[in-house]
Structure 1
Amino acid sequence: MRIYTKYGDTGYTRIVSGKRLKKDDIRVESYGTIDELCAIVGQALTLIPDEWEIKQEVLLIQQEIFDCGSDLAVPDFHRPFKLKQEAVVHLEKLIDSHLKETPKIEHFIIPGGTPLAAQLHIARTVARRAERRIVTLMSQSEDINPQVLVYINRLSDYLFVIARVANLREAGDEVLYTNSPKIFRSKRSDV
């Protein structure tokens, strides 16, 4: 099998159903951004210490990210969707679990710190871009797995939390945005 098909030579690509789309079609842009996210998460995986439980979590999440891209690449319900609501629920449990390891946020967190935390923040911002592309695709097409948008939204939260965990575990602190007063205040009147 050849790796090159020559379909792209004229600015087109074929998706799973065989349908031919321009390479700048919003569907291609959406799953292409997911592909980029998957690669960046793969890079982050190389920086996660083997003994951290997060490494196994992220390995599974990378598979689910690939499922998201696969679901976006298949139009007209050509096959059943791969990503299920259970993946979103699992991600929420992971977020809640890791939040217990982090202090309460009172200031914005600046992306950076350790190399691992910085890479996770890059992944988080690409997840947010993927989310925007998926919203645009959903506004133009009805055949999108709605769980993909929900999952990518939660994923950006997960990546934020584990970037914080990485900074705290490796550096002992976080990079705070200092050019503003405390912004995340308790809503309780006695605080």
Structure 2
Amino acid sequence: MGNRLSKIYTRTGDAGTTGLGDGKRVSKNSLRIHALGEVDETNAIVGLLLCEEMPDDVRSLLTNVQHDLFDLGGEVCIPGMSMITDKQVTHLENELDRFNEPLEPLKDFILPGGTRAAAYAHHARTVCRRAERALVALALEEAVNDSPRQYLNRLSDLLFVLGRVLNRAGGRDDVLWQKNKNA
């Protein structure tokens, strides 16, 4: 392991800047730091989801996703670094297909919720989409590799499907949206 955090506070950020992985200091409100924070929040909400009961294969997948999200954050933190690859994006696509295949095709939108685990999966999906948007905004201003954005896009789709899977595992059906239900 590289650097160890022996002291948590450094006071180096007190003036509103923070250090990137390459040593450069940037404003804490920079697009890069914003994107990094959104990726970090995605990882944290996946961690919260992992506190719930779920099938072992879903748990294993989400734990691996957390490792990938740390790598993705590292890539965002170090301009020019490449840590997320097409292989990781393809892996998410394969898992998405595997978990989606046994589910009934959707004919309407579903309401996010059901079991608590499914609700957390849907919450994680929305946070992941926000991280993706932050990365897109960063890419409009600075060079960003395509794979991290693609990874977040597939991950949000996977989290949607896992919400449905977790509802099934918890004995719940998806609740379908009803247009103008309360009109």
On whether the aligned pair clears a TM of 0.5, the verdict is yes
2: CA distance, partners of 1:166 / 1:150: 24
2: CA distance, partners of 1:62 / 1:180: 38
1:14 corresponds to which residue? 19
Residue by residue over 1:143-172, the C-alpha shift from the partner in whole angstroms, topping out at 9 and shown as x without a partner, is x22100000000000000010111122133
The number of residues matched between the two structures is 176
2: CA distance, partners of 1:118 / 1:16: 34
User: Unaligned regions of 5+ residues in structure 2, if any?
Assistant: 1-5
Alpha carbon RMSD of aligned pairs, Å? 1.4
User: Unaligned regions of 5+ residues in structure 1, if any?
Assistant: 182-191
The answer on whether the counterparts of 1:113 and 1:171 sit within 8 Å (CA) in structure 2 is: no
2: CA distance, partners of 1:123 / 1:136: 20
Instruction: Report deviation, 1:139.
Output: 0.5
1:186 corresponds to which residue? none
- Classify the secondary structure of the residue corresponding to 2:111: coil
Instruction: Report deviation, 1:112.
Output: 0.8
One-letter code aligned to 2:44: A
2: CA distance, partners of 1:85 / 1:105: 28
The answer on whether the counterparts of 2:42 and 2:124 sit within 8 Å (CA) in structure 1 is: yes
Residue by residue over 1:88-126, the C-alpha shift from the partner in whole angstroms, topping out at 9 and shown as x without a partner, is 001000000111121110110111110000001110000
2: CA distance, partners of 1:157 / 1:39: 18
1:115 corresponds to which residue? 116
Instruction: Report deviation, 1:9.
Output: 1.3
1:32 corresponds to which residue? 37
2: CA distance, partners of 1:103 / 1:180: 24
The answer on whether the counterparts of 1:14 and 1:21 sit within 8 Å (CA) in structure 2 is: yes
Instruction: Report deviation, 1:65.
Output: 1.1
- Classify the secondary structure of the residue corresponding to 2:8: coil
- Shift in alpha-carbon separation, 1:31–1:13, aligned structure 2, 3 A: same
2:3 corresponds to which residue? none
Q: TM-score by structure 1 length? A: 0.88
1: CA distance, partners of 2:76 / 2:168: 35
1:47 corresponds to which residue? 52
1:127 corresponds to which residue? 128
One-letter code aligned to 1:116: A
2: CA distance, partners of 1:29 / 1:46: 26
- Classify the secondary structure of the residue corresponding to 2:13: helix
The answer on whether the counterparts of 1:72 and 1:145 sit within 8 Å (CA) in structure 2 is: no
- Classify the secondary structure of the residue corresponding to 1:129: helix
Q: TM-score by structure 2 length? A: 0.92
1:99 corresponds to which residue? 100
2: CA distance, partners of 1:138 / 1:48: 37
One-letter code aligned to 1:127: C
The answer on whether the counterparts of 1:112 and 1:118 sit within 8 Å (CA) in structure 2 is: yes
Residue identity over aligned pairs, in percent, reads 38
The answer on whether the counterparts of 2:86 and 2:147 sit within 8 Å (CA) in structure 1 is: yes
